[in-house]
Amino acid sequence: AAKRDKVPFTVYTHEDDVERRQQLRLAQDLPDAVINNQLLLNYQPIVRISDQQVIGVEALVRWMHPKQGLIFPDSFIPLAEGSGSIEALTEWVLEEGIRQGSRWLADGNRLSVSVNISALILHNPSFPDMVARKLENIGFPAELLKLEITESAIISDVSRATEIVNRLHEMGVCLSIDDFGTGYTSLAYLRKLPVDEIKIDKSFVMNMMHAADDEVIVRTLLDLAKSLGLSVVAEGVEDALIWRILEALDCDVAQGYFMSRPVDIDTFNAWLKVQPWK
């Protein structure tokens, strides 16, 4: 697709056809993927910078396709959104993530569980009730569930989304603005929503030590968040140097390959015991 964008007019090639047909087939396979247990979650730790404590995880979905093997979310979430499978997919991710969170809790690990919520879900008025039912059935505290919403997701239908987000907030669920800095949120608008946390997009964090502009952006976003009383997660913390810069900037929380890549549950639990990055 990136290649095509550079062409000033649309060119249909054989490869485009093949790609389109493949996408169509994937989209058709999606409803079965949920029913037939082909989805899985990877977990990536979220760590408090001040004391290096693991305080939560982000649950990231993958699809083990019977023919095509492991598929990453950027390749099928848009298809799920376009084919009406996103609701079932999100419900599965929530159920699985909350169940896992309650297992950690039973083991004495009070970890928050962050789940990515697609824009379309915020147009479904029954979504908050579904979340409430799951929390109650599984017995997981609402304040340990975080819903990550991208900036652009909220903007498409502000009033409806705000209503749904408000109900979730009243339930005690945490709301996090994902990929912060890449969208068009105005500051006043950010203040109107019951947001608890922002996640500074990894594109600003990853190269901070080489790009002075990026450091200025991160610093400014941190100031902004502080003055609005929001906590901040920096994504894309890939090495110790970035960690130390963020520490010096008084950033609250970090997530990234430096601590751990997103991994399957067994690998995560083994990592949690040893925490080899420390």
33 touches ligand C2E by CB under 6 A: no
Q: Does 236 bind ligand C2E (CB under 6 A)?
A: yes
Q: Should residue 78 be labelled a site residue for ligand C2E when binding is judged by CB under 6 A?
A: no
Contact 109, 140 (CB under 8 A): no
Closest CB to ligand C2E: residue number? 256
Torsion angle (degrees, nearest 10) of CA 188, 191, 60, 209: 70
| Torsional sign, CA 134, 136, 141, 142 | positive
The site for Ca ion, by CB under 5 A, has a size of: 4
* Residues in the chain, total: 278
Q: Are 123 and 165 spatial neighbours (Cβ–Cβ below 8 Å)? A: no
In the region spanning residues 117 to 156, those forming contacts with ligand C2E, defined by CB under 6 A, are 118, 148
Judged by CB under 6 A, the stretch of 26-34, 48-56, 229-237, 270-278 that binds ligand C2E is 229-237
Count CA atoms closer than 13 A to 77's CA, side-chain side.
14
- Binding part of the chain for ligand C2E, among 25-33, 129-137, 159-167, 254-262 by CB under 6 A, reads 254-262
Q: Name the one residue in this structure whose structure tokens are 């690990």.
A: 109
Alpha carbon distance 176, 149 (integer Å): 6
168 interface partner picked from Ca ion, ligand C2E, none, CB below 5 to 8 A per type: none
CB of 206 to ligand C2E, least distance (A): 6
Task: Indicate which of Ca ion, ligand C2E, none lies near residue 77 (CB less than 5 to 8 Å, by partner kind).
Answer: ligand C2E
**Which residues from 163-192 bind Ca ion, rule CB under 5 A?**
178-179
Rule CB under 5 A: choose which of 96, 148, 151, 197 binds Ca ion. 148
**CB-based burial of residue 25 (10 Å sphere; 0-12 exposed, 13-18 middle, 19+ buried)?**
exposed
**Which of 100, 118 has the CB closer to ligand C2E?**
118
Residues that bind Ca ion (CB under 5 A): 116, 148, 178-179
